[in-house]
Amino acid sequence: MFEQLSILAPGLLGASLARAARQRGVASRIAVWARRPESRLKLKEASWCDAVHDTPEEACTQASLTVICTPVGRIPDLVRRIGPELPRGSLVTDVGSVKSQICREGHHALQGKAHFIGSHPMAGSEKSGMDHAREDLFERRPCFVTPLEESDSAATERVVAFWRDLDADVMTVDPEKHDEIVAHISHLPHVLASTLCSFLGLKDADWIKYGGAGLRDTTRVASGNTEMWREILQQNRAEILRALRAYQDELQAFQAALANGDDYLARHFLDRGKTYRDQL
Amino acid sequence: MFEQLSILAPGLLGASLARAARQRGVASRIAVWARRPESRLKLKEASWCDAVHDTPEEACTQASLTVICTPVGRIPDLVRRIGPELPRGSLVTDVGSVKSQICREGHHALQGKAHFIGSHPMAGSEKSGMDHAREDLFERRPCFVTPLEESDSAATERVVAFWRDLDADVMTVDPEKHDEIVAHISHLPHVLASTLCSFLGLKDADWIKYGGAGLRDTTRVASGNTEMWREILQQNRAEILRALRAYQDELQAFQAALANGDDYLARHFLDRGKTYRDQL
């Protein structure tokens, strides 16, 4: 139970966690800040928050736990900005999908004052914005909590408990391991879907009308917000490149099997792929 | 309107087209053959067929239109097998997803006796088998009809009319163009999904539990029947290899942009991908 939960930049994730926290009685008070004045006006009507502030600093002066829900590129600056206003010993986390840089910079910015412990709930949706927020968005969804070796373990425990109270399946890993994992299971699939679409976009425009359910599913993520994804690619560049190179070895081995007419080997790739997919 | 529609090997597609044809009064009689005795027993209970035969030859002796619904690898042999039994001037088509080889061999096998005009309704599903058949499976779904230059145009027109009567959106293209199109919009996406899964299957088995909706959608097709897909890859090898090589140029250009820190260019790929995907 937190005295005050402060949510900076509530979109789909931030508004969902406010509603989930309210429903479950996780915080006595919920304060919010949104960058756009029209969002702040709308937030004043929302039953799931108690106070709407004009600046992120004001929203955090009494926060027990602050959750930053901006795109990943803005998180470190925002941590530095609120740092001086935070109550001593309070907690700050975020919901960004890349962790190494954010956790190092966040920890450094608050050192000796408050605790930055990164989080990454894997509960997005192709729909964005607080209008699509849902109390159950995090239920039984994976959520990474990514402390540094030097992070305060009691602080980590409190952040873990917060996500558990929202019924998320919490895993604690270090930020580098997190970034390696998501480079493989989230960023690489996104790169393949986006480049497949950019490639097909160069072909005869008529072909698009023959696309079936398979093509639609395979490429769905490519319709996500491209600026958000550019920031993710930028922040997780090294791990994504490593995953991409290793994946291309697999793709080229498959291509060689096909080119050589080695159907036994080609089938072996398909079978291994199916075995993995059937476990998902 | 056909006097007799004969369906060889009714699975999801064959049973769906029998039900759709029955519902719409497209054929006076529907005859079927299935390879497995237990399937034939079950077919005898089906309200959507009038006669169940023990051999494909028997099922076709009075066929006005025969539709072959086996996996692509078995279609040419089956055309050769039924050829001598077919009524003179009758029509034969199929529902295979690769067309060049099947159309050439089918045309050659029936020449001067009956007409082979290939079809490819893009109306699959991850569910297979006649139990999942639906009258509306082809409604507003793309369906290729792929005559050769030397095909009889009246025969082509009758096959086109058959699919239109089932409310499919019919496009007529030559078999080689068809194979180029599906290599890009169906087989390449499948190869990427399968190799992504076979690649991820080599990684830490724990990671699979962090897979979100994006990974699940992107890889859904990889859970398809691998023997069916091996046959498709084999039959459309040349076009798939061509598409795969061209796609890898795109992927490597993206990788170079990322490696060079050229975020403007990386974003450009994402934007082009989104523009394409948003049209799907």
DSSP string, A70-108: S-GGGHHHHHHHHGGGSPTT-EEEE--S--HHHHHHHHH
Report the candidate in B13, B16, B11 with the shortest Cα–Cα distance to residue B33: B11
Span B60-107, pLDDT tens digits? 999 999 999 999 999 999 999 999 999 999 999 999 999 999 999 999
- Check CB contact under 8 Å for B263 and A198: no
CATH code (residue A115): 3.40.50.720
- Check CB contact under 8 Å for A273 and B248: no
- Nearest CB among A208, A233, A247 relative to B266 is that of A233
Query: In which element (H, E) is residue B280 found?
Result: none
CATH code (residue B196): 1.10.3660.10
Residues A169 and A125 in one domain: yes
Query: In which element (H, E) is residue B43 found?
Result: helix B37-43
pTM of the model: 0.89
- Check CB contact under 8 Å for B189 and A218: yes
Q: Which residue has the higher pLDDT, A125 or B258?
A: B258
- Give yes or no for a contact between A94 and A118, defined as CB atoms under 8 angstroms apart: yes
- Check CB contact under 8 Å for B186 and A233: no
Q: Which two tokens stand for residue A65?
A: 């736990």
Span B221-242, pLDDT tens digits? 999 999 999 999 999 999 999 9
Residues of B within 8 A of A190 (CB-CB) are 214
Judged against a pLDDT cut of 80, whether residue A124 lies above it is answered with no
Instruction: Please name the amino acid found at residue B84.
Output: P
Give dist(CA A122, CA A170) in Å, integer.
Answer: 10
pLDDT value at position B105?
A: 97
Span B163-178, pLDDT tens digits? 999 999 999 999 999 9
Judged against a pLDDT cut of 70, whether residue B125 lies above it is answered with no
Residues A159 and A274 in one domain: no
The burial class, CB within 10 Å (0-12 / 13-18 / 19+), for A150 is exposed
Give dist(CA A134, CA A71) in Å, integer.
Answer: 20
**Per-window interface: B 132-171 vs A, CB < 8 A:** 141-142, 144, 169, 171
Phi-psi region of A112 (alpha: psi -120 to 50; beta: other; left: phi over 0): left
Domain boundary among B138, B173, B208: B173
Residues A159 and A122 in one domain: yes
Residues A155 and A197 in one domain: no
Q: How far is A37 from chain B (nearest CA, A)?
A: 28
pLDDT value at position B226?
A: 93
Give the pLDDT mean for A50-74: 96
Judged against a pLDDT cut of 70, whether residue A195 lies above it is answered with yes
**Per-window interface: A 205-264 vs B, CB < 8 A:** 207-224, 226-227, 229-230, 233-234, 237, 240-241, 244-248, 250-252, 254-255, 258-259, 261, 263
**Count of positions (residues) in chain A:** 280
Number of domains in chain A: 2
Determine the Cα angle at B238 with ends B234 and B242, to 5°. Answer: 130
Span B178-193, pLDDT tens digits? 999 999 999 999 999 9
Which residue range is the domain that position B187 belongs to? 177-279
B171 forms beta bridges with B144
Give the pLDDT mean for A163-179: 96
* A118-121 and A142-146 beta bridge pairing: antiparallel
Q: Which residues contact A275 (CB under 8 A, 6 or more apart)?
A: B201
Give dist(CA B92, CA B270) in Å, integer.
Answer: 45
Judged against a pLDDT cut of 70, whether residue B260 lies above it is answered with yes
Q: How confident is the model at residue A125 (pLDDT cuts 50, 70, 90)?
A: low
Residues A109 and A52 in one domain: yes
Determine the Cα angle at B119 with ends B118 and B122, to 5°. Answer: 155
Give the pLDDT mean for A76-83: 96
Residues B57 and B101 in one domain: yes
The residue of chain B with its CA nearest to that of A203 is: B184
Least confident of A246-250, B113-117, B223-227: B223-227
Looking up tokens 């409604």, which residue turns up?
B139
Domain boundary among B112, B143, B173: B173
DSSP string, B241-269: HHHHHHHHHHHHHHHHHHHTT-HHHHHHH
- Nearest CB among B221, B222, B275 relative to A201 is that of B275
Domain boundary among B145, B173, B201: B173
Residues A255 and A222 in one domain: yes
Judged against a pLDDT cut of 80, whether residue B127 lies above it is answered with no
Span A221-232, pLDDT tens digits? 999 999 999 999
pLDDT value at position B1?
A: 84
Q: Where are the beta strands (DSSP E) in B137-183?
A: 142-146, 169-172
DSSP string, B80-120: HHHGGGSPTT-EEEE--S--HHHHHHHHHHHTTT-EE-EEE
Residues A268 and A251 in one domain: yes
DSSP string, B130-143: GGG--TTTTTT-EE
Is A178 strand, coil or helix?
helix
ipTM for the whole complex: 0.88
Report the candidate in A170, A159, A28, A16 with the shortest Cα–Cα distance to residue A90: A159
